Amino acid sequence: MKKKSLSAKKKIHNKLLIHLKNPKVSKIYKDFDDFIKSNLNKFSFSVAVSGGVDSLSLAYLSKCYSILNNVTVKFYHVDHKLRKESSKEAKQLNFLLKKFDINCKMLSWKGKKPKSNIQSVARKKRYSLIYKECLKDKVNHIFVGHHLDDLYENFIIRLLRGSGLKGLVSFRQIKIKYNNNLKILRPLINFRKNQLEHISKRVFKSKFEDPSNNNTNFKRIRVRNLIKNLKLEGLDFEKLKLTINNLSDSNFTINYYVGENIKNNSKYFKYKKCYILSNNFFKQPHEIVFRSITNLFKKVGNKYYPPRGKSIDQLLSKIRSGEIKKINISGCILEKINNSFIISEEK
């Protein structure tokens, strides 16, 4: 690199790092730095950048980390092409990030778009595109900008759906296994959106808001508005956070017994890539069996998303009544042989 280019880059880096002297920014960066040291064995990672205040803040913190620690960080943006303006906005975002020496790969969702369940389908496609890029770049951790307000929204959405304990607290997890090659991490989950907005405004002086964030056709937006109204009625976010944390502790306890059930009542055969489940596997409390078999389906089928809860409930009911001999589910084959069940990968 030419001396002039190196000098220009150094000036950009200094302009970025100077914001760390601000007490509010410094506090968040310290937490971010501690998060990386606690959760990553290798310090290289990638970042999903949407253009909102949360992801721009995440991009800034990640860039500072890469400068201070001399590590490579990859940045990705997915243009879903669900709106006419999205490609133009992606170019504007790319231009903005380049001004701060952040090189962001622009990924596009090509092909037919869904007419229903749009946000869910778009989320799956987004992670699929990012995963493929991570494989190319040999990166196995992706950081996303989920924050505390997202946690509250997700909790209310799951509550309205009648989710069980695991569903209610699933968003609280800071590290989620997408598959054997990629983990999704939420380094900003303990911060409110307005804290991240402070960073974004201070550094970038710009943001890109998706108009769908105001579209009440989407349940998430209606829940967001509901939370605003509940706040006016006296909703205490600290108490809500305490409730979620208490439920998370209970969930952790159940997961311990799920691990014990899998360890004591199943056996993995590596050369055949299958699990054999003993009779005792199904003699545990329903929630333990439910989670145990779901975990094994995800592992053997190498899936990020588990089978639907309703499907697992129906399956367990049939197992107890002796109706199941062999069935295909979630990329796996479940087969009864004598008094045991075998879970193997569907070929």
**DSSP string for residues in 129-174:** HHHHHHHHHT--EEE----HHHHHHHHHHHHHHT--HHHHHGGG-S
Q: Identify the CA nearest to 195 among candidates 161, 153, 145.
A: 145
47: CATH = 3.40.50.620
Please tell me whether residues 226 and 281 are part of one structural domain. Answer: no
- How far apart CA 147 and CA 145 sit, in angstroms, is 6
Task: Give the model confidence (pLDDT) of 261-278 as tens digits.
Answer: 999 999 999 888 899 999
Helix 309-321 vs helix 286-301: crossing angle, to nearest 10 = 110
Distance CA 112, CA 321 (A): 43
Indicate if 44 and 75 belong to the same structural domain. Answer: yes
Q: Which of 174, 203, 235 is the last residue of a domain?
A: 235
Number of separate domains in the chain: 2
Question: Has residue 2 got a pLDDT over 60?
Answer: no
Instruction: Summarize pLDDT for 67-123 with one digit per residue, the tens.
Output: 999 999 999 999 998 888 889 999 999 999 999 999 999 999 988 888 888 888 888
Q: Does the pLDDT of residue 4 top 70, yes or no? A: no
Whether 118 maps to a domain, the answer reads yes
262 & 221 share domain: no
Provide the domain limits for residue 15.
3-235
Task: Clarify whether residues 171 and 60 are in a common domain.
Answer: yes
Q: What is the mean pLDDT of residues 128-154?
A: 94
Write down which residue in 177, 210, 235 finishes a domain.
Answer: 235
Per-chain mean pLDDT for the chain: 91
Asked whether residue 8 falls in the same domain as residue 106, the answer is yes
- Please state the rounded mean pLDDT for residues 289-312: 89
Q: Is residue 69 part of a domain?
A: yes
146 plus 193 within the same structural domain? yes
Question: If pLDDT is split at 50, 70 and 90, which confidence band does 255 have?
Answer: very high
Which domain CATH number covers 320?
Answer: 1.20.59
Shared domain for 81 and 225, answered yes or no, is yes
Domain co-membership, 221 together with 274: no
Residue 243 lies in a domain: no
Query: Residue 22's pLDDT is what?
Result: 96
Domain boundary, last residue among 205, 235, 265: 235
Looking at the structure, tell me whether residues 164 and 16 fall in a common domain: yes
Confidence of residue 324 (pLDDT cuts 50, 70, 90): confident
Does 253 share its domain with 206? no
Any domain includes 242? no
Residue 92: inside a domain? yes
Residue 300: pLDDT band (50, 70, 90) is very high
256 and 230 fall within a common domain: no
Beta-bridged to residue 73, according to DSSP, are: 45
Of 11-20, 33-42, 191-200, 239-248, the range with the lowest mean pLDDT is 33-42
Per the listing, tokens 């699929």 go with 128
DSSP string, 21-32: GSHHHHHHHHHH
Let me know if residue 240 belongs to a domain.
no
241 lies in some domain = no
Check residue 82 and give its pLDDT. 87
Is 162 among the domain residues? yes
Identify whether residues 108 and 206 lie together within a single domain: yes
Task: Give the pLDDT confidence of 216-250 residue by residue, as tens digits.
Answer: 778 888 999 999 898 888 888 899 999 999 999 99
